[in-house]
Amino acid sequence: MIITKTPLRVSLFGGGTDYPDWYRENGGAVLATTINKYCYITCRYLPPFFPYKHRVVYSKVETANSADEIKHPAVRSILLTFAEEHGLEIHYDADLPSQTGVGSSSSFTVGFILALKALKGESIDKHELAKLAINLEQNVMKENVGTQDQILAAYGNFNKIDFHKDNSFNVTPVIMEKERFNFFQDHFMLYFTGVTRIASNIVGDQLNNMKNVVNHYEKIRELVDEALIILRDSSRSVSEIGRLLHESWQLKRELSNTITNPEIDKIYQAGIDAGAIGGKILGAGGGGFIMFFAAPQHQANIQEKLKNLIYVPFRFENLGSKIVVYEPNGFQ
């Protein structure tokens, strides 16, 4: 049995410039972090005592005699791509719900690839793991997904990621003095709006509208470097990040009419009125998780104001996808 543990992510700045439609023409960058909320993939070769070849357990339970019968799109695509001949049992568990803007789909893909490699007795470095996941999601599964989620899931950490016109990328960890870094983390609050959505559908509308909001994407990209300057200068107040997040959210919400709605706007405004400096909807928008940036002394007031929503405390993590159990069962 193999168990992989892969982090979910929070994107701060630059989201949208990590889509191939943008960075292949203009280059792109994001500032984002993985968090201590994870998805877990348990995978083993299925012993030959069952009347089916594969068993896949997530929100549903599937049994199948061939990979192309599996309905879960990522499992089906990955098994067919890997040409896996052996029967598998696969379980998926996660700390946060899927389709909520925290990169769970890519974390699943990355974690599953890592598990399959381990089952075969193979290792894979973080760069190749990210590239393989990107190719599977964008070119094999034909999903409308960006390129940051797979990289963050594989690498972990708080990073600036640069996307180049030739499809290459660079990952640069953000280095801060420890006390400042911890104080920065203390400003984040995460709430579940209660709404899940299919990100690929929302992103499709954004991509179709991209040429009409070029200036917005250019400014969104510039905010990445502005944020880094603030974080690296100990004389600057971290509260300035909150103001940049607010500016970024005002730009993001104009990229498409699918990103926000009256309920999201109401939640955001309630957080601001209660003391948050800024915030944003995570991921493609339309629902999922909303994040606020607020000084610690104002957070109790925000929690009272938003007490009807589920609050999810978190910290940054720095390990990325990893194998936590490696016990092959010998049925290969």
pTM (predicted TM-score): 0.95
With a cut of 70, say whether residue 186 has pLDDT above it. Answer: yes
- More confident: 115 or 209: 115
With a cut of 70, say whether residue 130 has pLDDT above it. Answer: yes
Tally Cβ neighbours within 10 Å of residue 272.
18
Fold (CATH) for 181-315: Alpha-Beta Plaits (3.30.70)
CA distance 207 to 25: 13
Q: Please write the tens of the pLDDT for every residue from 193-222.
A: 987 666 566 677 788 888 899 999 999 999
What the block records as the tokens of 3 is 């168990």
CA distance 137 to 74: 8
Fold (CATH) for 2-174+318-326: Ribosomal Protein S5; domain 2 (3.30.230)
Residues ≥6 apart with Cβ < 8 Å to 135: none
For residue 198, what pLDDT is reported? 62
Q: How confident is the model at residue 160 (pLDDT cuts 50, 70, 90)?
A: very high
Question: DSSP class of residue 140?
Answer: I
For residue 204, what pLDDT is reported? 76
Residues ≥6 apart with Cβ < 8 Å to 152: 7, 9, 32, 33, 34, 103, 106, 159, 161, 320
Concatenated DSSP letters for 248-276?
HHHHHTTS-TTS--HHHHHHHHHHHHTT-
In the block, tokens 């700390």 appear at 95
- More confident: 332 or 181: 181
With a cut of 90, say whether residue 71 has pLDDT above it. Answer: yes
Residues ≥6 apart with Cβ < 8 Å to 238: 180, 183, 184, 187, 230, 231
For residue 200, what pLDDT is reported? 60
Q: How confident is the model at residue 152 (pLDDT cuts 50, 70, 90)?
A: very high
For residue 205, what pLDDT is reported? 75
Q: Please write the tens of the pLDDT for every residue from 221-266.
A: 999 999 999 999 999 999 999 999 999 999 999 898 888 889 999 9
What angle (nearest 5°) sits at the alpha carbon of residue 166, between those of residues 164 and 172? 30
* DSSP bridge partners of 265: none
Point out the least confidently predicted range of 110-124, 127-141, 189-203, 310-324: 189-203
For residue 284, what pLDDT is reported? 74
CATH topology identical between 2-174+318-326 and 181-315: no
Domain coordinates in residue numbering, the chain: 2-174+318-326, 181-315
